[in-house]
Structure 1
């Protein structure tokens, strides 16, 4: 027999009754039923129930074990009484009578309990991550992550891509986040950098003639942590293709992503990849207040400025006299109650706004009918009850009173709303309020039950503007990826920079950005012109990106690609709200590894070897 096990803790069933087996694993739970001990033994694969009573020669030793001890046992497989069968376990029809036990690793008092669903502070969980990872949910998440990576890798091979590795130690190349710098021992005073992404290298692979590249790539960025972002490193499915258009990239990666969500989405609906909409960046900002919209929520915001211009609502009317301002409406089907409107008004105040204007539509009150008909309220109530007259609909709320029934009705018709519905309003320069409007849209969808929780909703966000203007300094700079090919090529750069769109795209799913990519600017003359518009001279471009620019002078093919965030994909599939739940050894919110004590102070010898000196911060 094998030194540690003849079967896993998932591998036994009633066909093994009467056999002697050997199992190894961790003591998951112990129950003492009047001198008869029941132990749930757990390994990576499952759980088997052990039983031991005073008739067993191992009973005295079995009595000593505690939770999370690692043990090996030999025993006989027995059938459970029919009333004791556990249908939730693959091994639920049997139990193993223990005849011999060996303690492979005793456990001290546990800082956190593995059995059950107890909540522990994140700092405790990360400090003792090896214990946290033994929990069923974490085992499930990490297995899911591994399976997703396997599926992604296999699908890329099936599509004739080859996997190539790019350097982990390279030159610093700002790509929108801070680099992690690595000092050079052989070149004192100089630094390498950990790559924020394999961006330049994968483009060079295309210039080298390899046509289709992919990699499950580690990326390193010194970023502030968020629930959906690691502060140090992350993994992405990185891909690049030569001689392709934007649509070619979509047609390649969309089925890969769709397949993973179908395979691991636990039955949640996934629209066919061919049906994923393509939404311009500007439309996404207008309709959803975000370039990563959650399309499970059907609410679409609309511009309603014309209904407030010159109206009796002075705040919006005066606002619209300023250049570049708008009033936008957030429809709220079924949200037509003062209580809900007050809640949303409170939400706006928490977001730092004075409030949020609203209108809601309801059935006319007897008071309103009496006033219209010239009858008493009591008569109006009687006629409404008998059906002699129909009450109809009325608009309520401060805005409705200020702008009057005609404008209010025009807003209702534009938004397609009716009795029991509401609309909320925000105004100003769009960039100043779009983000809050987007969050309000999400809250409205959640609170009113409009968001379909049983679905993964994808959309390609396209036509990103390449440039933006700093309103205070009046300077033109890059708004998005500076290496995207401008739509229209060199000719597009001769017009208004703010009108220039790039062949850049993101794939959004359920409010998260999952994929980002572009068709690359592979023409040096167009690249120099694009950077010149943003105030970067040719010499600076050569200095920062010389390796790639030089390569483009030697017959670079048109190429493009994208990268899909593996951590976020798994987070969505696992239905987790925090990305650290799907990373095996994540940093905490302060970018610290409490388990390995990183970052740590270097020794004097290490600093001397690197020709470095640490200057303490002033306290």
Structure 2
């Protein structure tokens, strides 16, 4: 259907014209990318969402259009009607480089001042300026490509779930504040003075209630909100692909989601995923990669040295083991010669940012072992360490001795940092992994109690339920994350559907029965009336699109994102409000 403005009807898009259109009359509308006046001819690159084509104003074709073309400047919005001709000098760098349009009619819809940023992909303006003028930034081809790619993924998701019997259901944006999670965004209620809604961190409770309601299979592409410190892959508001299913176990959930992932990769990147996707228990992921979201595109795996050094004269190692800590290392196999002592010192500084007190190293050369700690270790200990890593000449072993969490964290990040510095990460390689059997709880030192690793409704492994009251740190969860190239793109679990088990879970978390009912009473009440076994998953849509488009920040794939301090340079949100508005909400501001 043609787009009509006055007597001008758009019948083509700029980037879609080919040599098949030669001789045809076309009407295009868009923005002026650039204009060049060569005397008797005015050349304009006209841009719309689909791309750019060259239009020519020739006095011999239309003197009126040629004269008006003198007014045109970059980012003017115009419409043209003209004839497609074969281009005299072909531009192989443009998809439309074989054709040009000789203009017979011109309309200038809107003039434009000189933009504060260039409308070019290579523009290196600061991100803050890009976000201030986001509507201009979004005119860039790469940004429009990102948003179109995102649209395509959401369409694939909706089509897939519709074809597999899922129903999309919207859940409330104004809901009840709940504990156990990130900080809520609170919304004061004017008609209920002193009371607050919370914006949802996820639709978790509502999707479980939908299973109680008999909806059986639900999904939703939904906005979620968390008031937490930001980083490249976090925003205060983000989008989830939210999924829940009744009468399922872990295999059912993972199987259908593997089909979805494969469909997304195939239809967007023409990449086939090897199914089934590999599964790795949390414990193995931590011990091998130091991370619960390991990047498995490369090696440098962690090895435990406790048994070798527990009785060593080197007290840094043996003392750590005696205190219940860990001595582990990684072998940068084949790249040892790439790291001088100065470079290794920089790696140590990096490891220290994750809590490591130091970084021991052993370089294997043709002449033997080169290491500042060699004099503290026996020949037998050195040989066993080298053997543990299957090290050879040209390898570099890096070792951290500390509390287990510090060892995993520092070495886990270090192996990825080294891979980046060596430039061995292939962005066109996609390694997917299910991480399973997470701990059900983790200990919060600040609150001096166990908190839920995922959320309080995650079901424990059947064989671990008896440990809930006696050894909660040993309880594994029926939880699973899906990881792509070292980034978690989704996570979920089988949920607790038994009221009795849910009460045990709350007790293990330190909630009294009264507190549990105060916070989650509406869910516990619903569980009284027949609850099917159920489980699900939620994907971070922003992260998924970021990875598949090869970007490093989710701000590149969100139309109007916030900055690191959760503000919008464009709208200047958040902002102060009038005292009258606060009074209506029965709120006093502590900020002058």
- Fold match, TM over 0.5? yes
1:4·1:24 contact (CA, 8 Å) conserved in 2? no
1:577-592 equivalent positions in 2, closer than 5 A = 577-592=552-567
The CA deviation at 1:342 is: 4.0
TM-aligned CA distance change 1:263 to 1:345, over 3 Å: farther
1:80·1:93 contact (CA, 8 Å) conserved in 2? yes
Q: In the alignment, is residue 129 of structure 1 matched against residue 103 of structure 2?
A: no
Counterpart pick for 1:507 among 482, 492, 503: 482
Alignment correspondent of 1:253 = 257
Which SS does the other structure have where 1:244 is aligned?
coil
1:542-553 equivalent positions in 2, closer than 5 A = 542-553=517-528
1:460·1:508 contact (CA, 8 Å) conserved in 2? yes
Counterpart pick for 2:67 among 35, 60, 65: 60
1:29·1:115 contact (CA, 8 Å) conserved in 2? no
TM-aligned CA distance change 1:338 to 1:121, over 3 Å: closer
TM-aligned CA distance change 1:304 to 1:270, over 3 Å: farther
With 355-364 and 125-134 compared, the bigger mean Cα shift is at: 355-364
Counterpart pick for 1:521 among 472, 478, 496: 496
- Kindly provide the CA deviation profile for residues 494-537 of structure 1, in whole angstroms up to 9, marking residues without a partner as x: 44111111111111111111111011111111111122122210
Counterpart pick for 1:70 among 52, 77, 87: 77
With 445-454 and 207-216 compared, the bigger mean Cα shift is at: 445-454
2:218·2:243 contact (CA, 8 Å) conserved in 1? yes
Which SS does the other structure have where 2:15 is aligned?
coil
Alignment correspondent of 1:609 = 584
Q: In the alignment, is residue 239 of structure 1 matched against residue 243 of structure 2?
A: yes
1:219 and 1:123 map into 2 onto residues whose CA distance is 24
Q: In the alignment, is residue 170 of structure 1 matched against residue 175 of structure 2?
A: yes
Q: In the alignment, is residue 569 of structure 1 matched against residue 544 of structure 2?
A: yes
Alignment correspondent of 1:262 = 266
> After the TM superposition, which parts of structure 1 deviate over 4 Å for at least 4 consecutive aligned residues?
470-474
Which SS does the other structure have where 1:97 is aligned?
strand
Select the structure of larger CA radius of gyration.
1
1:28·1:115 contact (CA, 8 Å) conserved in 2? no
The CA deviation at 1:48 is: 1.5
With 466-475 and 331-340 compared, the bigger mean Cα shift is at: 466-475
Counterpart pick for 2:410 among 416, 432, 436: 436
2:154 and 2:184 map into 1 onto residues whose CA distance is 26
The CA deviation at 1:257 is: 1.5
Alignment correspondent of 1:367 = none
The CA deviation at 1:94 is: 1.5
1:297·1:452 contact (CA, 8 Å) conserved in 2? no
TM-score for both structures, normalised by structure 1: 0.90
TM-aligned CA distance change 1:599 to 1:447, over 3 Å: closer
The CA deviation at 1:209 is: 0.8
2:377 and 2:465 map into 1 onto residues whose CA distance is 49
TM-aligned CA distance change 1:592 to 1:450, over 3 Å: closer
Counterpart pick for 1:422 among 367, 385, 396: 396
The CA deviation at 1:544 is: 0.4
Which SS does the other structure have where 2:84 is aligned?
strand
TM-aligned CA distance change 1:427 to 1:412, over 3 Å: same
1:304-453 equivalent positions in 2, closer than 5 A = 304-322=305-323, 324-337=324-337, 339-340=339-340, 342-352=342-352, 353-364=356-367, 394-453=368-427
2:41 and 2:465 map into 1 onto residues whose CA distance is 83
Alignment correspondent of 1:368 = none
Q: Count matched residues.
A: 581
- Kindly provide the CA deviation profile for residues 259-308 of structure 1, in whole angstroms up to 9, marking residues without a partner as x: 2123323x6x654130x222222222221111111111222101011222
Which SS does the other structure have where 1:502 is aligned?
coil
TM-score for both structures, normalised by structure 2: 0.94
